[in-house]
Amino acid sequence: MAEFDPGLPSIRQAQKYIQDQQALEVKLLTGDVLTGRLAWQDSLCFCLLDAEETLVVVPRQAIAYYKPV
C-alpha cells in the first residue's frame, strides 16, 4: 500500500484545495474530464463532490492532472 505523506507538496496543495473548497478540473488518463470540489484524499484515491453533490472516488493512478478552475 502506498504511504500517505502529508509533508509532500502535492499532498499539502490538495489539502489546501479541500480547506478552500476550491473547484477543480481533473483530467483522467482516459481523456475524461471531471469537475468538482475535492472532498477528501488518501494514499490511493481522491474523492470529488460534483455539481449534483454526488461523491465520485477517483483512483490516483487514473489521474493525468488536476487544476483549479
Find, among 3, 6, 17, the residue nearest to 48 by Cα: 17
Going by the DSSP 8-state scheme, the letter that residue 18 receives in this structure is: H
Instruction: Give residue 4's pLDDT band: very low, low, confident or very high (50, 70, 90).
Output: confident
How far apart, in whole angstroms, are the C-alpha atoms of residue 6 and residue 28? Answer: 23
Each residue of 28-52: pLDDT tens digit?
Answer: 999 999 999 999 999 999 999 999 9
Distance from C-alpha of 52 to C-alpha of 29, rounded to nearest angstrom: 23
Average pLDDT of the chain is 95
Judge whether residue 2 has pLDDT over 90: no
Domains and CATH numbers, the chain: 9-68 (2.30.30.100)
In this model, does residue 11 exceed pLDDT 80?
yes
Give me the pLDDT at residue 1, please: 59
